[in-house]
Amino acid sequence: MTRLPRHRVSDISETGIRLRLFSPDNIRETPVNYVHQDDYYIFGFIESGTCNIRIDFKDYELAVNKTALVLPGQAHRFTHSDQLSAYLLMIDSAFVEETSQRAFEQYTLTSQLICLSPQQQTKLKSLFAILSDNQSLPGNRSQALNLHVSLAIIDIIEDAVISQQTSNSLPQRYVEHTIIFRNLLKQHIGHSHSPSYYARMMNLSPMYLNEAVKSTTGFNLSQNIQNEIIIRAKRKLAYTHKSVKEIAQELGFEDYAYFTRIFSKTAGTTPTDFRKNHK
């Protein structure tokens, strides 16, 4: 039985777009303070104050010059705020263009926080205000406007992401290969942990794919595979009641002891102790 709730976009909006507003005097709208996953994208924007969030066991502090990005499937929760005034845009992944999804996926390999220029902050503040004023209005024209404004918000955040990515100087084919590899890894991690397996699926040599992935992410193929195993194992250990042996099997390990050694070496603690510390 799982203890990790998964929120669906259909539960929060009929249109696939939902905006939440937070302020010190609004006791009805409070951030979700329990760990959960979503099947949609989340973009946060702070007007004033600060807040802390945890995304896949990493803690981040948000202030007025930063915005947060949470991808579908990431385990996250709000942890703390101080005089927070902020917007939270939740949007169906169907509305996020594939090129934007690739940019966000690549960026979250290293960070979840996005620094904003003063111009970007001004634009986002105006767009979020328009979306806030318009979201309660009825009719198809209102829904269409909400979508256009939301996409403009995403475009500005994507521009901020691209401006920060150090991989811009890399060959674009390296970035494309890395995103494809990461997507295949998420789909097949329980089936194979072999770098050659993913290289064959992409019709590339293991050496070339390793070069592309390491140049883009800073980690080689084996390390990327191992990191994906560990983050999935952590989610299952912390948020489900499955045994360590069951988790190992789901992640493609026939040898339970080998899984334990890999996890302990990478995470710095045994699976059992990790679970105890994250109940």
Q: What 8-state DSSP symbol labels residue 169?
A: G
**Per-residue pLDDT, 249:** 93
**Per-residue pLDDT reduced to its tens digit, 132-177:** 988 766 666 678 889 999 999 999 999 998 887 654 567 878 888 9
Max Cα distance, the chain (Å): 59
Q: Which sign does the torsion angle of CA 77, 221, 102, 157 carry?
A: positive
From 77, 112, 89, 108, select the one nearest 3 (Cα to Cα): 77
Q: Which of 83-87, 126-130, 140-144 is the least confident region?
A: 140-144
Mean pLDDT of the chain: 88
CB 156 within 8 Å of CB 127: yes
pLDDT class for 109, splitting at 50, 70, 90?
A: confident
CB 146 within 8 Å of CB 92: no
CA distance 109 to 271: 23
Average pLDDT for 74-93? 92
Task: Name beta bridge partners: 54.
Answer: 59, 77
Q: What 8-state DSSP symbol labels residue 95?
A: G
**Per-residue pLDDT, 127:** 95
